[in-house]
Amino acid sequence: MSAERIEDIAKAMVMPGQGILAADESTGTIKKRFDSINVENTEENRRDYREMLFRAGIAMNERISGVIMFEETLYQKAADGTPFVDLIRAAGAVPGIKVDKGAQALAGRSGETITEGLDGLRDRLKAYHEAGARFAKWRAVISINDILPTTGAIKANTHALARYAALCQEAGIVPIVEPEVQMDADPADHTIERCHEVTDEVLRVLFNELHEQNVKLEGIILKPNMVIAGSKCSKQNTPDEVAAHTVAVLKRNVPSAVPGIAFLSGGQSDVEATANLAAMNANYDLPWSLTYSYGRALQAAALNAWRGKAEQVAAAQEAFTHRAKMNGLAAKGEWNEAMENA
């Protein structure tokens, strides 16, 4: 066990006004992002894109408390030979690593998945710690419709999350525990009330499993979905409605020992994700720090500005810095929509 306290690392990851950059896209996922801007998915281009984000000084120094990386990125170096881990640390952020192996079909459960990657995880975590990672992420994907998820799928995924979390803490690594009830998976027409019901059940079972595996709650970060209607639902809700449903579910299920909750954006637009987070922080006094752990909602504008062109790096960094600033203000309840164009 490292002399570093996981409780202290977890607190550093949820500092007021700061959040976590999810830059852990797999090679296949980032190919889809690059395809959208006609950029070839090469290791050099992936390096250049991530380096552009990690060298956005104001954003990284003031608004980003941690960076989740894919395994390739953890070991990569910038064009000048500086390890990415050192770039992130120099900005005052905590380097992290995605450790799950992705969601696969869950046997006997049509339409549901189980996240794999527990085999060999103890040895991998040791190597990641030696490489500089101080937190990890594991994403469980929970299907939702009128009949899903099943109790079996919830139990299987939350049990895996708890086992992963225990192994992380054994290695001196803070686990980000991510149970995602999807808003944009087909048919994506569920109401906010249905998402409330499912998220409530998932978090209830999750914290029972964490307790069973002796996971220290003071040394985790929860990364849940917001309680939100499906992307194809005919009724889309206001930020105040999303905040009310989400906070109600959190209060019912998340112990106050958890230092912070870093929401995933889950397919929301940039501004939607910011507005919903701001509504929670502006309207409620809560025992946890509520912040962001966004991928697309932090990167989309920067990716579109960059388009693989060196002469566009400054513009892309400016776009990334703006989104990080907006979300940092939302994490303090100080954002309003007029700031988007200020």
Annotated catalytic residue 71 = no
Q: Domain of 192?
A: 6-341
Q: What is the mean pLDDT of residues 195-210?
A: 98
pLDDT for residue 185: 86
pTM of the shown model: 0.96
Residue 1 lies inside a defined structural domain of this protein: no
Q: What is the CATH number of the domain that holds 109?
A: 3.20.20.70
CB of 33 closer than 8 Å to CB of 303: yes
SS3 call for 68: strand
pLDDT in tens, 141-152: 999 999 999 999
Residue 142 lies inside a defined structural domain of this protein: yes
Of 124, 104, 101, 127, which is closest to residue 114 (Cα–Cα)? 104
Residue 216 lies inside a defined structural domain of this protein: yes
Spatial neighbors of 100 by CB under 8 A, at least 6 apart, are 115, 116, 117, 137, 138, 139, 164
Tally of residues, the chain: 342
Q: Considering 223, 241, 325, 332, which one is annotated as catalytic?
A: 223
Residue type, 46: R
- N-to-C CA span, the chain: 47
Residue 147 lies inside a defined structural domain of this protein: yes
| Ranges of H-type helices in 14-132 | 27-35, 43-54, 57-62, 71-74, 84-90, 121-131
CA–CA separation, 5 vs 227, rounded Å?
32
Reported as a pLDDT band with limits 50, 70 and 90, residue 2 is very low
Q: Considering 25, 178, 180, 209, which one is annotated as catalytic?
A: 178
Residue type, 311: E
pLDDT in tens, 249-258: 999 999 999 9
Average pLDDT score, the chain: 97
Residue 106 lies inside a defined structural domain of this protein: yes
* Whether the predicted pLDDT of 223 surpasses 50: yes
Of 262, 338, 308, 248, which is closest to residue 64 (Cα–Cα)? 262
pLDDT in tens, 304-317: 999 999 999 999 99
Of 159, 134, 290, 132, which is closest to residue 222 (Cα–Cα)? 290
CA–CA separation, 173 vs 187, rounded Å?
37
Question: Six-digit token pair at 114?
Answer: 């189980």
Specify the number of domains making up the chain: 1
pLDDT in tens, 259-279: 999 999 998 999 999 999 999
Spatial neighbors of 32 by CB under 8 A, at least 6 apart, are none
Annotated catalytic residue 31 = no
Reported as a pLDDT band with limits 50, 70 and 90, residue 114 is very high
Can you say whether the dihedral through the CA atoms of 177, 183, 186, 190 is positive or negative? Answer: positive
